[in-house]
Structure 1
């Protein structure tokens, strides 16, 4: 059985590929159960964000079967997938998961949101019933190490998230946000962070659009914004100088025609549009329009690079913590192996004891001398317990396996000058 961390991310695949392998929240539970049944994975969890889709699994390794399942679940083709996927196994899978949870593998080094996203992936897998003892224990180790990375290094200080980078990019187009209106599409954690950063920069007016008005109103209340439904966006789009979108929609929400209409109403005043969603919320063709500055999550690299340079030292310390975490994970796995062996050893000893006990009980019931029965019981139990190791040690001696002889001394705490005992079998 193998532990796997399989996936694609922002370093291996462009947005056009990543959005074809994304799993929306409404699809994950069904996908997990199908992976369990059709890909032959004993345990499985799926992490799907704007920058990565990863499958964490434990089971008999059958990479081709996993690839075929993923192709069947998504719109990607095998050639495209072969060019961008990675697959880590066992210790390296654990190391990768720890780096992801700690923010070391993110587009934004130290990204604070990813740990919450991984915890959500864990919770969904539990709900789907596709977690078992191996993945459950692995996730607990991963979360513990990620917490240490956050608390023992400076990687999380003054975090520069994708949301922060989005607002920084907007400021390169509109230097004075105090005169601007921003339309935020979605009401998840990323949009909430975007709203917070925009308010901190003094944005003049915020409009939050969401599929359900209740969630939009929650953000609107917190940040003094206006709440609308997604269906109302065409009526309000012309008011927006800045549009930032991050939803889980599987289809685009804004097309070229709607944006053209908004530009006419604005008399072609420029619009900054940032699509953080994967799959994309804004049609790619919108970028062809004059007076529209359309960016995707992949365009945030320049802003992110500054953050990355400032966190290299913290990342080095985080890597050391992760190395400790992997070593601890290895020790615990070895300890689990030992536990299984000890259980088997004790079970075998108990079976032998029971056989001798029942024999002694029969003799007592037939009127045999109790002292004689006890002697036979103790001698018989000793012989049965020692028969297998004695035979194995004789064979080891004949083969010159001094290491096994020494191991026996360690296991049974034997003294080199111990008195010999006559073997009775």
Structure 2
């Protein structure tokens, strides 16, 4: 059987295609059930995120096409279009790909940690749907062990490279004590969620999240003990904010020079750190002209991001080395297991032949046949049955000039020749002239 990894990701497919191929939580159970029931497929797991959809299967030679056609049917997508953006890996390459995905080496943001949690969710879903057998179960467990080793022994996750983290990192250079700082976050999307989390982890406890709808702002702020307000309440909140970070989809600026100038007067000109992550910008550029405002845009964060990216690249190189070692150990264990399975099958075959010959011999003895003749026939019959298949395989290999098989046959079928015994040391023929 073959291990197959087939999928698309942010490098091979547009957002439009990734949206079509993604599995919603409601679809996942049905999809796993169908995938597991396909001919040629004995095990299956599905990983589906915003940036990738991947299917991991244990299959035979025809399975790859079967999986591709099923994915096309399930999402009503042209198989030609799917083929153009799909990639596939087999056996060791599939194991290597899964490990690289687990540690974030194949992510849009190098080393991002969220993918490992998503992969563990995919593993649990597959287990619940009985999609995992011994092969995928062992591979996922081995992958999680390698990912833990990479996270422990490298700095792959110690230098975040997101815009959200870069904004918080720059703020930390200005404020000596984050615990006393008050932050106003404008927007409630994924970036602001990350900013809020990073600020909280850095020690900021006074968080206000402003959004067009208060309900969405509460979803972000409540998890971190913050406060939710609407956009119309920003002027009052601005008077108390030491840190302002904004990321909305508004086509027009939300903070104007006049609003900020008014807030600064009430703050008695205590400085304010502002980061405008939005494109188009949420904060008028003229705000940066005010004496007590430190205003940065997403372009200003690039230096921080690039510096952290360099640190992560060094860790990524170390991670690649650990993954290669992980693939090698997985491959070694797999070979041992395959050898064990072959031994068990061969022994089962031999035992079945033995039992059949024994039963026939007992029947003859029960009929009163001569025991010596029965034993002689038993030995002859059992020998022929045991040697028939290997003999036929050797003849076929010889006729088709399968030299590798013929070279291996003596080691598999014939007993090892005993080493030549070393001659005993000759006795000393010289007379012992030692005086008595």
Q: TM-score, normalised by structure 2?
A: 0.66
The CA distance in 2 between the partners of 1:135 and 1:330, in whole Å, is: 13
Q: CA deviation at 1:55?
A: 3.5
Q: Secondary structure at the match of 1:56?
A: strand
Larger deviation: 167-176 or 321-330? Answer: 167-176
Q: Secondary structure at the match of 1:287?
A: coil
- Superposed, 1:18-417 pairs within 5 Å as 22-33=22-33, 43-59=43-59, 60-62=63-65, 64-65=68-69, 68-69=72-73, 71-72=75-76, 85-156=86-157, 158-160=158-160, 162=162, 165-169=163-167, 178-182=181-185, 185=188, 191=193, 194-198=196-200, 200=202, 202=204, 204-207=206-209, 217-220=222-225, 225-226=226-227, 239=237, 241-243=244-246, 256=250, 267=259, 287=280, 291=284, 303-393=304-394, 404-415=405-416
Q: Which has the larger radius of gyration?
A: 2
Residues 197, 13 of structure 1: alpha-carbon distance in 2 compared, 3 angstrom cutoff: farther
Greater relative CO, 1 or 2 (CA 8 Å, sep 6+): 1
Residues 46, 215 of structure 1: alpha-carbon distance in 2 compared, 3 angstrom cutoff: farther
Contact 1:44 1:58 in 2 (8 A): yes
Q: CA deviation at 1:408?
A: 3.0
Q: CA deviation at 1:53?
A: 3.9
Q: CA deviation at 1:139?
A: 1.5
Q: Secondary structure at the match of 1:98?
A: helix
Q: CA deviation at 1:313?
A: 3.5
Q: CA deviation at 1:146?
A: 1.5
Larger deviation: 167-176 or 49-58? Answer: 167-176
Q: CA deviation at 1:389?
A: 2.3
Contact 2:100 2:323 in 1 (8 A): yes
- What is the Cα-based RMSD across aligned positions, in Å? 4.8
1:22-72 deviation line (CA, Å, top 9, x unaligned): 555455434444555689965443334454443434441127525524753
Q: CA deviation at 1:166?
A: 0.6
Residues 140, 382 of structure 1: alpha-carbon distance in 2 compared, 3 angstrom cutoff: same
Q: Secondary structure at the match of 1:72?
A: coil
The CA distance in 1 between the partners of 2:127 and 2:217, in whole Å, is: 27
Q: CA deviation at 1:302?
A: 5.8
Q: CA deviation at 1:219?
A: 3.2
The CA distance in 1 between the partners of 2:152 and 2:139, in whole Å, is: 20
Q: Secondary structure at the match of 2:5?
A: strand
**Which residue of the partner structure matches residue 248 of structure 1?**
none
Q: Secondary structure at the match of 1:123?
A: helix
The CA distance in 1 between the partners of 2:108 and 2:121, in whole Å, is: 19
Contact 2:103 2:150 in 1 (8 A): yes
The CA distance in 1 between the partners of 2:404 and 2:309, in whole Å, is: 51
Aligned residues: 380
Q: TM-score, normalised by structure 1?
A: 0.68
The CA distance in 1 between the partners of 2:321 and 2:75, in whole Å, is: 36
**Which residue of the partner structure matches residue 280 of structure 1?**
none
Q: Secondary structure at the match of 2:76?
A: helix
Residues 36, 186 of structure 1: alpha-carbon distance in 2 compared, 3 angstrom cutoff: farther
Q: What runs of 5+ residues in structure 2 fail to find an aligned partner?
A: 239-243, 262-272, 286-294, 420-436
**Which residue of the partner structure matches residue 430 of structure 2?**
none
Residues 15, 263 of structure 1: alpha-carbon distance in 2 compared, 3 angstrom cutoff: farther
Larger deviation: 170-179 or 99-108? Answer: 170-179
Q: Secondary structure at the match of 1:311?
A: helix
The CA distance in 2 between the partners of 1:69 and 1:301, in whole Å, is: 43
The CA distance in 1 between the partners of 2:208 and 2:390, in whole Å, is: 77
The CA distance in 2 between the partners of 1:5 and 1:349, in whole Å, is: 39
Contact 2:255 2:283 in 1 (8 A): no
The CA distance in 1 between the partners of 2:338 and 2:201, in whole Å, is: 54
The CA distance in 2 between the partners of 1:308 and 1:183, in whole Å, is: 27
Q: CA deviation at 1:98?
A: 0.9
The CA distance in 2 between the partners of 1:44 and 1:85, in whole Å, is: 17
The CA distance in 2 between the partners of 1:100 and 1:161, in whole Å, is: 17
